[in-house]
Amino acid sequence: GRFGFKSNNASLLDQIAAAMAGDLGLTSRAYPAQPCMPAQTACREAPAGGDPELSEAQLQTIAFYLAHLQPPARRDPDSPGVRRGERHFHALGCAACHRPQLRTAADAASPLLRDRLFEPYTDLLLHDMGEGLADGRPDHLAGPRDWRTAPLWGIGQVQAGNAAGFLHDGRARSLAEAILWHGGEAQAARDRYAALPRTARDDLHGFLGSL
């Protein structure tokens, strides 16, 4: 799988159908049953919006739209501080998982998406992130401590405050907190980050802010 916090959906279409069912309660060919528990009589007796509620054509249209969204453009990628921060990002070992560049398949279904270099800052793979981030819940092939590398593109545009946070459950209020929660396979990179002098850390944050 490539989609979802634990890489449990194989395609964008699967991810959308799963979210429509799990988050919005909308049925589709892949999820024909209403997500009501036996005791939820009001849920089970509520009128359905069709059988299924979402047609294959509707799912395809949403997938087409999402697949063609543009990632946010970077801001000031060539400023000296951002460049220094980028070098720290590589030296600390962050890029081993947060891979700067990937290339789309030459036979991608949409001609617009064939053989395109893009910069998601993820390897789209699962990693053991240690006990601190574990949710204790296996999911398909992912274990309780496994998470898919979060893509960092656009992270500079995310407003992290008390209401919105980083990591799979939003627990981190800042980039620094998100990095310090890294464990398991990322423990060594996290420890190198924690040992950085203040100015180097500021440059690294400046680089992340430019993504």
How distant is the alpha carbon of residue 34 from its chain centre? 27
Residue 62 near ligand HEC by CB under 6 A:
no
Residue among 54 and 94 whose Cβ is closer to ligand HEC: 94
- 133, 110 contact by CB (below 8 A): no
| Residue type present at position 32 | P
Residue 98 near ligand HEC by CB under 6 A:
yes
CB of 21 to ligand HEC, least distance (A): 22
- Sole binder of ligand HEC in the list 15, 186, 210, 211 (CB under 6 A): 186
Q: Which stretch binds ligand HEC (CB under 6 A): 6-14, 43-51, 66-74, 161-169?
A: 161-169
Q: Which of 180, 157, 184, 154 is nearest to 167 (CA)?
A: 180
Residue among 67 and 172 whose Cβ is closer to ligand HEC: 172
Q: Which of 181, 188, 97 is nearest to 131 (CA)?
A: 181
Q: Which stretch binds ligand HEC (CB under 6 A): 15-23, 44-52, 112-120, 174-182?
A: 174-182
Angle at 73 between CA 71 and CA 78, to 5 degrees: 140
Q: Terminus-to-terminus CA distance in the chain, angstroms?
A: 25
Residues forming contacts to ligand HEC in the complex (CB under 6 A) are 92-94, 96-98, 127, 129, 133, 147, 149-150, 155, 166-168, 175, 178-179, 182, 185-186, 189, 193
